Chain A
Amino acid sequence: MSAIRIDTSDQHIINLAAIVGGTRSILYKKADLLAYDCDGFTIHKHLPKAVVFPENTEEVSKLVKYCADHGLPFLARGAGTGLSGGAIPVNGEVIISMVRMKKLISVNLENRRAVVEPGFVNLKLTNSISDRGYYYAPDPSSQYCCTIGGNVAENAGGAHCLKYGVTTNHILGLEVVLPNGDIIDIGRNGVLDEPGYDLLGLLTGSEGTLGIVTKITVRILKNPEGKQTVLAYFDKVEDGSQAVSDIISAGIVPAALEMMDKTAIEAVEAAAFPVGHPKDIEAVLLIEVDGIAAGIEEQINEILEVCRKNKVREVRAAKDEAERGRWWANRKTGFGAMGAISPDYLVQDGVIPRSKLPEVLKKIAQISEESGLRIANIFHAGDGNLHPLVLFDARKPGEIEKALEAGSLCLKACADVGGTITGEHGVGIEKREEMRFVFKEEEILAQTNIREVFNPNNLLNAGKLFPTPGRCVEIKKENNALLGRNV
């Protein structure tokens, strides 16, 4: 303790610092905390009480226990690239930053699994094993910097999830610190289909409301033998959408099937990784197939054929790996690229049946027109996961509210055609109220009841994932949590 020189009289800060071994592992001054008042979702902001940087599971457990015992709200944060506000400390939480727990603990090629700490960056896993012919499949566009711990919390997806599934399909085991500080192991040894409840499935995508993951066993895959990417330009969105449907109907399962609309093209072409997409087309498709080398060419030919049948303006396969890389860099930096054409953006994450694509895109265009805000569309067309990007300027009074409303209407449009409100970004703060578009009160209650089992005092990441409670008892609990009281 004597080694810790802390410039505060707040006993909680002093005690938290002691757990993580001193001043280098805690931030508590305003100038340092400000960088943590939001994540990739910048509409809601709130300062945390402190940010602590544990380096092992025991420290996480002690921090959690301290917070639980003293009624301090707390939450876990990875790289802070989440798009729904899951890591924003709306209750002035103590942020437990997982970024210093960033080791690749082990790789087991024989059983095709790797064990990582939660702060390990997604793409680093693939980079660490690619020379041995393996990779980690879930590839959110933020994979250059997002952490696997964050991916587990949000059940992150990515362009290649069409064929390979989202994060939950690749998680084999978790070590979790529960909201009372207890440490549990689930999915032991990565054996599939453990008896008992599927806690792995429950924890993955729980948006940091049930526990803090401290160790993750993931599935790794052998690199596909062959890989080819096709680029197709369409004059009409409808034709592009129809091509998407026809490709899937033809029995092809592309590794990825991505679409960008005109406004999105304008942004990516104005940004740092332009590839020369024509400005006057309504849609560009990026289609990738992978697998056994022998079948690739046949599939590519079939895709080219389907595109031509759907009045494609231009369609071709990447001539080499470099071109393929440029196409993907252009697509994967698409969200950030919005900065080139708009000061702020809000990205939505609706999912719809593929066949409804033209209808919903039309509806989104209408929402854009009525709100007076431009909306770009970048999306995983293959699995019907839309990302309408509502462009706005936060400096203009009233525009944030307008953007939020337009975003919400986009989700309503998705829900109305039998879809849902999030495919991979999570609910967070952003889509809490929209949960009512897809769940009845009883269905929400069933879920908050589960949360209560794990997180009875709701000190861990309160105010996320579910709408403002409709029951008095819920309200009471939430209020107590906000006030930092034990119930």
Chain B
Amino acid sequence: MSVKESDLKQDTPCTSSLSNYLWRDPPQEKKWADCVHCGMCLESCPTYEQTGEEQHSPRGRVYLIKAVAEGKLSVDEHFANPVFSCLDCRACTTACPVDVDVGGLIEEARGQIRQAVPLKGWKGAVNKFFLHGVFPHHNRLGSLGGLLRFYQRSGLQKAIRKTKLINIMPQHLIELESIMPEVKRSIRKTLIKSKGETKHKVALLTGCVMDVFFSDINDSTINVLTRNGNDVSIPPNQTCCGALHVHAGDREMGRKLAKQNIEAFEKTDKVIVNAAGCGCMMKEYTELFRDEPEWKKRAEEFEKKVVDISKYLHDAGYDKPKAAINTRITYHDACHLAHGQGVRQEPRDILLDIPGVEMVQMPNADRCCGSAGIYNITNPEMADAVLKSKMENVPEDVEMISMGNPGCMMQMALGVQKYGRNQKIVHTVQLLDWAYQKEDGGDHHVRHKD
């Protein structure tokens, strides 16, 4: 996409009298101006694949977003439907001959919709509970983690499952409950020194979901980093990246969280992220501050520091493990890694560097799995249809599916269970860590507590 000088003056709230976008931070004209309606995006879109309806295609959505700005449509529930049915998977941007930022337009449009049509009912409750009540508050997410830990350890989980109380939950929540990872204690240290000589100093985003549900992936990330000469700091005042909020149209909260993270990581040169969704969001913080020049500048500086763990290892270098893990695996491209950050080959190279690993190519590996933040909770039917297509592409004879995003990991685990498969779901960095641990003859899991 070429950003022309003349575009810059369009980089202001839509002041056209025709526009039906009435709030701050509307979809930007320069984002849709490049779209010539050619349709090359159609087949890349999972929701178009499922419905065949063009308002649920990237081209159609861009067209409708433009129509609101031209005053042909209003911001109401009918407009909200196609805009919120988008998985924000960004596959269309990869397919687009001119890189139209459909994801960015969708997020901006959602911001307008949420102000025009506040959510009510079940969806409203879910959004409010998670987005305002839990994710922004590390301690509350921790408490939720504690609660879940209690739920799992105390026998309550067994009891609920046994007493069939579970049957009164909505179907998709029952499914999610059944694949809920075991909740462990999260990381409390603020600095973990390199195991050998310190070559680099990096900071780690521990993330909200990652920290509670997948803390062993954070452990693996730290193990892999410290083993390869990195001092790892974990700034304590960091918070949720805000991706879930921005995807849901809550840009105000997104900005709040972004500011906190920009400040928290101000003193570090590299921010390592092991969740593709978070990495992608943090690389787009600038988008949130179009009308706050001061913060925009800081966001631009911040974005440069953010890097996915696989890309970081690939660029900074890592020891090739010597111990073999004999397994047949396949790799799933998380949308926000492949389409969002252009990271495709790096994780595959890491996996192939582990002796004994045999890679089987997954057809359409960069097709969305349907997780998409909390999409699988808010749009369960579509998420499930997308998951079904995804699972049909998982090769029969592999033992593991590797990927780089916690949301995908949960969704794929659900897919494995639901469609009677038996693959283990692993994060790329976990497999590397296991190989190192095997090489060192140590325990499988080294944890970093208090």
Contact = CB atoms under 8 A, between A and B. Distances in A.
Among A39, A80, A146, A273, residue most surrounded by chain B Cβ atoms (within 10 Å): A80
Contact of B42 (A27, A30, A79, A273): A79
B346 to A, nearest CB: 18
A2 B277 CA distance: 44
A452 B142 CA distance: 73
Interface string B76-105: 101101100000000000011111100000
Interface string A261-296: 000000000111100000000000000000000000
A34 B67 contact: yes
A30 B35 CA distance: 22
B106 to A, nearest CB: 15
B34 A144 contact: no
A336 B97 contact: yes
A311 B35 CA distance: 38
Interface in A145-167: 145-146
A258 interface: no
Among B43, B64, B73, B76, residue most surrounded by chain A Cβ atoms (within 10 Å): B43
Contact of B98 (A35, A51, A340): A340
Range class of the A interface residue count: 35 or more
Contact of B40 (A29, A144, A344): A144
**Which DSSP category, helix, strand, loop or mixed, fits chain B's interface?**
loop
Contact of B39 (A79, A341, A343): A79
Interface string B22-56: 00000000000111111111110000000011110
A144 B36 contact: no
B60 interface: yes
Contacts of A35: 53-55, 57, 59-60, 63-64, 82
A319 B321 CA distance: 34
Contacts of B53: 27, 32, 35, 51, 53
A145 B97 contact: no
B73 A30 contact: yes
B418 interface: no
Interface in A1-54: 27, 29-32, 34-36, 38-40, 42, 51, 53
A136 interface: no
A228 B434 CA distance: 45
Contact of A339 (B43, B73, B78, B98): B98
A121 B82 CA distance: 23
A119 interface: yes
A8 B43 CA distance: 31
Contacts of B57: 35
Among A144, A336, A343, residue most surrounded by chain B Cβ atoms (within 10 Å): A336
B55 A34 contact: yes
A30 B108 CA distance: 22
A102 B43 CA distance: 12
Nearest to B363: A127
B64 A34 contact: yes
Contacts of A36: 54
B64 A40 contact: no
Interface in A69-100: 79-81, 97, 99-100
B72 interface: yes
B100 A339 contact: yes
B39 A81 contact: yes
B64 A336 contact: no
A234 interface: no
B39 A145 contact: yes
B1 interface: yes
B79 A53 contact: no
Contact of A144 (B2, B72, B76, B95): B95
A42 B2 contact: no
A344 B55 contact: no
Given A31-B73, A34-B67, A35-B63, A339 B36 contact: yes
A335 B36 contact: yes
B42 A145 contact: yes
Contact of A142 (B40, B64, B98, B100): B40
A27 B55 contact: yes
Interface string B217-245: 00000000000000000000000000000
A411 B54 CA distance: 32
A272 B36 contact: no
Interface string A130-146: 00000000000010111
A336 B52 contact: no
A133 B60 CA distance: 36
A100 B98 contact: no
A132 to B, nearest CB: 16
Contacts of B36: 42, 335-336, 338-339, 344-345
A449 to B, nearest CB: 34
B55 A336 contact: no
A333 interface: yes
A31 B34 contact: no
Nearest to A83: B38
Contacts of A40: 37-39
Contacts of B78: 29-32
Contact of B1 (A144, A145, A340): A340
Contacts of B37: 38-40, 42
B82 to A, nearest CB: 8
A60 interface: no
Contacts of A145: 39-43
Given A42-B36, A42-B37, A31 B64 contact: yes
A337 interface: yes
Given A29-B78, A42-B37, A51-B53, 8 more contacts: A34-B55, A40-B39, A145-B39, A333-B97, A335-B97, A338-B36, A339-B38, A339-B98
20 contacts: A29-B78, A32-B55, A35-B54, A42-B36, A42-B37, A81-B42, A102-B52, A121-B43, A142-B38, A145-B41, A145-B42, A272-B1, A335-B38, A336-B38, A336-B98, A339-B33, A339-B38, A339-B97, A339-B100, A341-B2
Which 6 pairs show the lowest CB-CB distances between chains A and B? A336-B97, A31-B78, A35-B60, A333-B97, A99-B52, A339-B34
Interface of A: 27, 29-32, 34-36, 38-40, 42, 51, 53, 79-81, 97, 99-100, 102, 119, 121, 142, 144-146, 270-273, 333-341, 343-345
